[in-house]
């Protein structure tokens, strides 16, 4: 099996079209990667997922370790065999859980709504604060399982061992994902610890090579320019197979844009760049323009579970289907959409299905949202090839004002 490699095919300023070759297929980039935390994109079978056109998924090492456990998955042919998905798979390391079970509970910061506190909180106090379920030390991280209260220790070496058993095509090392409310000193401390962990992970990765697997290095540094530059410089010199940008992306979308402008130019041009945890439509054009190749987010699937459908024909590209105005609407979510949902069901039916809490309704919503995003990514790739990304972005972003 061939390890992942990357080839740039076309550029439009900093945006680029590429091919990411993996042992289980080629990803055309830039590409959105849906989150399948436990190996499953919720509500979809592998066959359903194929119908959306999605090229790859990202699963979570921490959650798979807790349930069902890497040993069981390894015995069943790794993640590809266990979930019956023949395409590329990425596994995150559990670094985000360092944030979500730690600082996120302390600071009351969530991944979707308040990851950019300056944008969403309006300066008000945060809610849902609680006691952290982790303890970060130099050796690694001790987690208290949210399932049964049992204790689990993740070290950089242990995470690589688990990910090798899971057998994903692209794996990420253990890192410390910081909060937008962490100060400079703590962010620097966490960044330096992440760098030391990266070296340990890389050593473990090379000590027990797995055919076909690639390891990405993760850039940290929070919202601080000098730290992002230091981290980009350090990580890019270690010989990783590609790079991911993680941690706090500042307190607003503008901060995120600046952080990418500081970071991306310092990373090698011939290797893939993955932005962790971002995927709203308004963000996609901005991150692609700044040179991101892959990005993942729970947004489209999480919204689908609430009856929120993505569409080009509504403000902020979304409608909530249980709104009474769709009661007698015989049209699909999007008239020109070729997804299974739009080809077979009206807004009126989808509204009734959600009101009746039909499980199939969620499947239809997830299928549409992922198809919608993959179709958008196809348009973006085509626009980059033609040198027309700015025009396409201007057109799409103007729709948010309607």
**What is the model's pTM?**
0.93
Give the model's confidence band at 162: pLDDT under 50 very low, under 70 low, under 90 confident, else very high.
very high
What percent of the chain stands above pLDDT 90? Answer: 80
Cα torsion 29, 35, 40, 42: sign? negative
Contact 350, 309 (CB under 8 A): yes
Q: What is the pLDDT of residue 102?
A: 64
Distance of CA 143 to the CA centre of its chain: 22
Q: Would you say residue 128 has pLDDT above 90?
A: no
Residues of each domain in the chain carrying CATH 3.20.20.105 = 5-297
- CA distance linking residue 158 with residue 204, whole number of Å: 9
Q: How many CB atoms lie within 10 A of CB 387?
A: 13
Catalytic residue among 12, 48, 92, 183: 92
CATH of domain 5-297: 3.20.20.105
Q: Please state whether beta strands 25-29 and 134-136 pair in parallel, antiparallel, or not at all (unpaired).
A: unpaired
Known active-site residue 92: yes
Cα torsion 267, 272, 274, 279: sign? positive
Write the pLDDT tens digit of every residue in 17-34.
999 999 999 999 999 999
Contact 40, 83 (CB under 8 A): yes
Q: What is the pLDDT of residue 110?
A: 55
Write the pLDDT tens digit of every residue in 72-105.
999 999 999 999 999 999 999 987 887 677 666 6
Contact 132, 105 (CB under 8 A): yes
Q: What is the pLDDT of residue 96?
A: 80
Contact 69, 76 (CB under 8 A): no
Write the pLDDT tens digit of every residue in 228-240.
999 999 999 999 9
- CA distance linking residue 32 with residue 318, whole number of Å: 18
Catalytic residue among 169, 255, 283, 296: 296
Mean pLDDT for 345-352 is 98
Give the model's confidence band at 263: pLDDT under 50 very low, under 70 low, under 90 confident, else very high.
very high
Average pLDDT of the chain is 91
Q: Would you say residue 293 has pLDDT above 70?
A: yes
Q: Would you say residue 124 has pLDDT above 60?
A: no
Place of tokens 């626009």: 383
Q: What is the pLDDT of residue 127?
A: 46
Tell the burial category of 3 from Cβ atoms under 10 Å away from its Cβ (0-12, 13-18, 19+): middle
Known active-site residue 293: no
Q: How many CB atoms lie within 10 A of CB 326?
A: 21
Q: Would you say residue 125 has pLDDT above 60?
A: no
Tell the burial category of 125 from Cβ atoms under 10 Å away from its Cβ (0-12, 13-18, 19+): exposed
């Amino acid at each position: 099996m061939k390890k992942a490699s990357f080839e740039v095919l076309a550029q439009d300023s900093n945006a680029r079209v590429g091919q990411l070759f993996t042992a289980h297929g080629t990803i055309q980039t830039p590409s959105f990667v849906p989150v399948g935390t436990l190996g499953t994109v919720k509500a979809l079978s592998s066959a359903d997922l194929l119908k959306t056109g999605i090229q790859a998924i990202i699963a979570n090492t921490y959650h798979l370790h807790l349930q069902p456990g890497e040993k069981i998955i390894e015995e069943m042919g790794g993640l590809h065999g266990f979930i019956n998905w023949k395409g590329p798979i990425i596994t995150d390391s559990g670094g985000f859980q360092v944030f979500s079970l730690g600082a996120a509970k302390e600071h009351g910061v969530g991944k979707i709504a308040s990851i950019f506190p300056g944008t969403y909180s309006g300066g008000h106090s945060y809610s849902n604060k609680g006691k952290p379920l982790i303890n970060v030390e130099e050796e690694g991280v001790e987690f208290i399982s949210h399932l049964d209260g049992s204790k689990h220790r993740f070290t950089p070496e242990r995470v690589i061992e688990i990910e090798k058993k899971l057998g994903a095509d692209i794996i990420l090392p253990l890192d410390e994902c910081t909060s937008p409310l962490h100060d400079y000193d703590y962010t620097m401390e966490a960044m330096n610890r992440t760098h030391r962990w990266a070296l340990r992970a890389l050593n473990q990765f090379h000590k027990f090579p797995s055919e076909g697997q690639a390891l990405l290095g993760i850039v940290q540094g929070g919202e601080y320019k000098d730290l992002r530059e230091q981290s980009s410089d350090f990580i890019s010199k270690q010989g990783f197979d590609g790079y991911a940008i993680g941690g706090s992306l500042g307190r607003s979308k503008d901060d995120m844009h600046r952080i990418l402008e500081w970071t991306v130019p310092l990373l090698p041009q011939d290797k893939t760049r993955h932005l962790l945890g971002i995927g709203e439509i308004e963000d996609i054009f901005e991150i692609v323009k700044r040179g991101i190749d892959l990005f993942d987010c729970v947004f489209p699937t999480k919204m689908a579970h609430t009856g929120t459908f993505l569409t080009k024909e509504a403000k902020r590209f979304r409608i909530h289907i249980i709104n009474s105005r769709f009661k007698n609407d015989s049209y699909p979510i999007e008239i020109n959409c070729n997804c299974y949902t739009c080809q077979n069901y009206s807004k009126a039916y989808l509204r009734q299905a959600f009101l009746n809490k039909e499980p199939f309704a969620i499947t239809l919503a997830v299928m549409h949202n992922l198809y919608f995003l993959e179709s958008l990514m196809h348009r973006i790739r085509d626009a980059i090839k033609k040198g027309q990304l700015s025009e396409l972005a201007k057109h799409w972003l103007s729709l948010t004002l309607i």
